[in-house]
Amino acid sequence: MRGGERISGETVIGAAKNAVLPMMAAAILADTPSTFVHCPRIVDVESMRGILRCLGVESRWRDDSLVIDGSRIISGEMPEKLSKRVRSSIFLLGPILGRLRKAAVVYPGGCEIGLRPIDLHLNGLKRMGVEIREAGGVLHCDGSRMHAADIHLDYPSVGATENVMMAAVLTPGRTTISNAAREPEIENLQAYINAMGGSVQGAGSATVVIDGVSKVRGVSFSPMFDRIAAGTYLCAAAITGGEITLRGAEPRHLTAVTQKLREMGCRIEETPDSVSLRAPARLRAFDTLQTQPHPGFPTDMQSQMMALASVARGSSVIVENVFENRFALAGDLNCMGANIRVAGRAALVQGVERLNGIHARARDLRGGAALVLAALAAEGETVISDVHLIDRGYAKMEDTLSRLGADIRRVSLTD
């Protein structure tokens, strides 16, 4: 790709990876098929389909909708290779136990951005009476004595909150999760479960209450828009001095990001289902950005904001409070001419006038997307390898950016 082109135009934001993946897991709770409308065709969705297939769960594409039939699930033993490929495989633990009362899982994979221990998931399930033993790297879970429970999470983990929610749907009695994560995707999962006939209340607050039901049925459901993809494309326009309108994006879920973009000099207009941004010729630095659980600034947007700060006028400070290894991008940006100093969980970014194109590789999903943003503003050509990591969360990102004016194309290693 070659930098220097302004990003300008409109694009439609599709369904969120972080909403769809737990819903795909929850679909196995139902005894009839569920249909997810406008489901993104990304690598993580296909990986999850592969895991479900190994459990006996059928799925198929119908235009841009994904149909999942969990009624024929025959196994609770997740395949090791596929499970290690995608972090979200852990979401299947709760619904498998809820449906079959027995599961065998390996520690999940995903991006190398930190430890991300699953202790919170396991401790919550243990509180519900699940017996867990480890043998040869496999967690064998016996839920034959599962029961409702009051569960306090030591940290408001999104995955642990959603896993316990799903495990409790078909478990008799009332399960309460306190210090629950409050991300919009959890509210969306609650809406899907309730549409199936479940009984969940409080998602989006610190306390979630699940009243167990005897059965749920599959439904047609439209998952929420991808707020991280939306934030990324807003940043693409911002870093190139461009302008963009995102259709299908709810401003209330983008407040933390748009507030920082306004601080950097961008003009932003909002309607109930769209966000428009017009960027200045050169961004100005923000003061301090600290990642926090929702409603704080999302860690999944930190790398993109580092790319913007690298070419902004002035100095910015970024503090990463969620994942300890999320500053690997700084080294790549410095190779492009940025001036970033990292000390522990903090980074000082002194903006430079321009970046230069290089050959680099995506190290993780969001860091890879941030490299693309930096390349949009860089002089010369940038070649990014390992783009399969970017494909985990963005459906044909190069096509979207090309339609918006970027000089970008995907090539094979033999081209």
pLDDT in the model for residue 324: 72
| Contacts with 195 (C-beta within 8 Å, 6 or more apart), sequence order | 219, 221
pTM of the shown model: 0.94
Do residues 61 and 130 lie in contact, with contact meaning Cβ atoms separated by under 8 Å?
no
Do residues 162 and 91 lie in contact, with contact meaning Cβ atoms separated by under 8 Å?
yes
List, in sequence order, every beta strand (DSSP E) within 38-123: 58-62, 65-69, 102-106
How many angstroms separate the CA atoms of 110 and 131, rounded? 26
pLDDT in the model for residue 144: 97
More confident residue, 107 or 127: 127
3-class DSSP assignment, residue 253: helix
How many angstroms separate the CA atoms of 32 and 58, rounded? 11
**Residue 280, preceding bond cis, omega within 30 degrees?**
no
Do residues 313 and 350 lie in contact, with contact meaning Cβ atoms separated by under 8 Å?
no
pLDDT in the model for residue 414: 55
Q: What is the pLDDT of residues 311-326, one digit of tens each?
A: 999 999 999 998 777 8
pLDDT in the model for residue 78: 87
Mean pLDDT of the region 271-295: 97
- pLDDT category at 215 given cuts 50, 70, 90 is very high
pLDDT of 109 higher than 60 = no
More confident residue, 345 or 412: 345
Q: Is 111 a catalytic residue?
A: yes
pLDDT in the model for residue 167: 98
Q: What is the pLDDT of residues 132-155, one digit of tens each?
A: 998 887 889 999 999 999 999 999
Helix (H) or strand (E) holding 60: strand 58-62
User: From its phi and psi, is residue 83 left (phi > 0), alpha (psi between -120 and 50) or beta?
Assistant: alpha
Q: What percent of the chain has pLDDT over 90?
A: 89
How many angstroms separate the CA atoms of 57 and 77, rounded? 12
The answer to which of 16-20, 23-27, 72-76, 223-227 has the lowest mean pLDDT is 72-76
Domains of the chain: 8-14+225-403 (3.65.10.10), 17-211 (3.65.10.10)
Residue from 39, 111, 235, 266 carrying the catalytic annotation? 111
pLDDT in the model for residue 18: 95
pLDDT in the model for residue 108: 67
How many angstroms separate the CA atoms of 219 and 231, rounded? 29
Q: What is the pLDDT of residues 368-415, one digit of tens each?
A: 999 999 999 999 999 999 999 999 999 999 999 999 999 999 998 655
- pLDDT category at 82 given cuts 50, 70, 90 is confident
* Token pair recorded at residue 27: 């679909």
Q: Which amino acid is at 170?
A: L
The answer to which of 58-67, 129-138, 159-168, 201-210 has the lowest mean pLDDT is 129-138
